[in-house]
A and B are shown apart, each in its own frame.
Chain A
Amino acid sequence: MLLRILGEVLIGFTAAGIVLAVALPAAIRFGYEPGPWLAWAAVAGSVAVCVALGERMNKRRKARESP
């Protein structure tokens, strides 16, 4: 359980890099100068989505495996 959550958080951190790669140049192009809060927002959002997706997948897998 703990290891799974840790894995989801790690994947969330990695996904935050990709989210920032899209969000940061887009924000600059539209005239905004985003601060470090954007990194926090990206991390929070990505980790939340990854944990939610991971748990959902785990629940579905368990439901499929149980008779």
Chain B
Amino acid sequence: MGRTMLLGITMVLGVAMPTAWPEAASRPARPETVFKAGWMGNEPTLQVTGRGVKFFKRVGREQVSIRVEVPGDVVQLDANLSGVVRLGRNGRFLQLQMKDAFEANVAKAQKATAGSRALDALEGLVASLEQDERPEAASVRSSFALLHAVRGNAVPSRTLVKPRPAPGNSSVVRTMAASAEGPYACWAEYSSTMYQYNVVFNSCVESYWWIPGWTASCGFQYVLQSELAWFWLISCSGGMPV
């Protein structure tokens, strides 16, 4: 009995270990991300290819156009100075205006981009460029932030804002600046994270409403995430729930 269990555990571990997969051993190195800057008329363009996603950005005097593409899914966004945003997915476009209600715009944008593989792939690309200080990488990050801001998630935009070093850059000043963040910074982080979890939960329920068990698991995931975020908030504020 014990010997059979040991054999079973060894077999499971052998299958589960990534090095046991033949393709893992011979997997080629991931190609690098390629940046290609250019011009279209008088407007600068940036094309980035990497991690299975094609990213294209064109910046004009009054308009910025972003296109994110993976096989089978394309997300496009055009925003101009007059506050009009045109969001498209796989050839279907919707127009959002600043004068419309923010919640209604966010709901429309979330519905249009729900389950987008292009946005998921772009997230992977942005994560790989996190430490990259080149302006091209920063441009990709800002576009990612814009795409998420349209969908009602301000977290990527907030991460773009880096704290400026204090004058003199002494460690004492830096420590004070860090401690001056206070409970409101924790609350802001918590509320934006919770809103993001809620967006994911709504999208999950909307996608799988016809499977009762699946919607229940969406709810279970949301409850777990919210509890984790809640206890993070308590720990972030030094033991107090704000």
> When the two chains form their complex, are residues B230 and A20 in contact, meaning their CB atoms are under 8 A apart?
yes
A interface residue count range (under 10 / 10 to 19 / 20 to 34 / 35 or more): 20 to 34
Known interface pairs A28-B195, A31-B103. Does A36 touch B184 (Cβ–Cβ under 8 Å)?
A: yes
Chain A residues with Cβ below 8 Å from B195 are 24-25, 28
> When the two chains form their complex, are residues B187 and A35 in contact, meaning their CB atoms are under 8 A apart?
yes
B233 at interface, CB cutoff 8 A: yes
Chain B residues with Cβ below 8 Å from A13 are 234, 241
B230-242 near A? 1/0 per residue, CB < 8 Å: 1101100000011
Q: Which chain B residue lies CB-closest to A23? A: B194
- A18-45 contacts to B, CB under 8 A, are 18, 20-21, 24-25, 28-31, 34-37, 39-40, 43
- B170-223 contacts to A, CB under 8 A, are 183-184, 187, 191, 194-195, 197-198, 222-223
CB distance from A34 to the nearest CB of B (A): 7
> When the two chains form their complex, are residues A25 and B194 in contact, meaning their CB atoms are under 8 A apart?
yes
> When the two chains form their complex, are residues A17 and B191 in contact, meaning their CB atoms are under 8 A apart?
no
Of A29, A39, A43, which is within 8 A of B103 by CB?
A: A29
> When the two chains form their complex, are residues B226 and A21 in contact, meaning their CB atoms are under 8 A apart?
yes
B interface residue count range (under 10 / 10 to 19 / 20 to 34 / 35 or more): 20 to 34
Of A17, A35, A37, A43, which is within 8 A of B226 by CB?
A: A17
> When the two chains form their complex, are residues B242 and A34 in contact, meaning their CB atoms are under 8 A apart?
no
Of A14, A21, A30, A34, which is within 8 A of B222 by CB?
A: A21
Interface of A is mostly: helix
> When the two chains form their complex, are residues B223 and A18 in contact, meaning their CB atoms are under 8 A apart?
yes
A16 at interface, CB cutoff 8 A: yes
How many Å lie between the Cα of A33 and that of B123 in the bound state? Answer: 27
CB distance from A64 to the nearest CB of B (A): 32
> When the two chains form their complex, are residues A17 and B230 in contact, meaning their CB atoms are under 8 A apart?
yes
Chain A residues with Cβ below 8 Å from B197 are 21
How many Å lie between the Cα of A43 and that of B229 in the bound state? Answer: 15
CB distance from B123 to the nearest CB of A (A): 21
Chain A residues with Cβ below 8 Å from B242 are 36-37, 39-40
Chain B residues with Cβ below 8 Å from A24 are 191, 194-195, 198
Chain A residues with Cβ below 8 Å from B223 are 18, 21
Closest 8 CB pairs of A and B: A17-B230, A21-B226, A36-B242, A25-B198, A17-B227, A36-B187, A39-B241, A24-B194
For the complex with contacts A17-B229, A21-B197, A34-B191, 4 further pairs of A-B residues with Cβ separation under 8 Å are A16-B230, A21-B223, A28-B191, A36-B187
A residues sitting closer than 8 Å to B (CB atoms) are 13-14, 16-18, 20-21, 24-25, 28-31, 34-37, 39-40, 43
14 example contacts (A-B, Cβ-Cβ < 8 A) are as follows A13-B234, A17-B230, A21-B194, A21-B197, A21-B226, A21-B227, A24-B194, A25-B194, A25-B198, A29-B103, A31-B103, A36-B183, A39-B233, A43-B241
B residues sitting closer than 8 Å to A (CB atoms) are 102-103, 183-184, 187, 191, 194-195, 197-198, 222-223, 226-227, 229-231, 233-234, 241-242
